[in-house]
Amino acid sequence: MPENEARRNRVFLVVVDDSAERAVALKYACLRAKKSGGRVALLRVLEPAGQTEWAGVGALLAQERREEAEQVLSGLAAQVNEITGGMPLLLIREGDPREELLALLAEEERISILVLAAAPGGGGPGPLIVALTGRHAARLRVPMTIVPAGLSAEELERVT
């Protein structure tokens, strides 16, 4: 595959959770995609609903969670389009976030780089980063970029 085509096919995956640092990871991935001619993918993992006594209630809750995930991804897709000029791949899965992420990386050959952001302050890197740099590191098939959450817009421009 020619180098230009390989760069165009580069996909930067961002895990869409509810953390504040997600915005930094997204901005970094968008800037990298824009500058390299790549693309962004957004993954939202829905944790399974707890047991309910009525199946209809459980189905309604699952539908509401999926609609909420679609709204979140739609809003972020607009941001990605504004920065990169292209629409991202939108992915929704249900299950354990770490396991679903690892399964997606194993299945989806288009993903080239996983982009995560470390939590600001002294709170540690977060459970996903800890898992992926520790016990589950051997299961990663793509490089992982960990972006410091405290980077300013100017610093993000400089490092991308």
Domain that holds residue 14: 3-159
Query: What are the strands, taking DSSP E only, across the chain?
Result: 11-15, 39-46, 89-94, 111-118, 144-148
State the total domains in the chain: 1
Burial of 12 by CB count in 10 Å (0-12 exposed, 13-18 middle, 19+ buried)?
A: buried
pTM for this model (two decimals): 0.87
The rounded distance, in Å, linking the Cα atoms of 27 and 152 is: 10
Q: What is the CATH number of the domain that holds 75?
A: 3.40.50.620
The rounded distance, in Å, linking the Cα atoms of 39 and 87 is: 8
pLDDT tens-place values along the chain, 160 residues long: 455 555 557 999 999 998 889 999 999 999 999 999 999 999 999 987 665 566 666 678 888 899 999 999 999 999 999 999 999 999 999 999 999 999 999 999 999 999 999 887 766 778 889 889 888 888 999 999 999 988 999 999 999 9
CA-based nearest residue to 9, from 91, 99, 93, 86: 86
Q: In Å, how far are 31, 49, 61, 112, 144 from 115, measured between CA atoms? A: 12, 27, 30, 10, 6
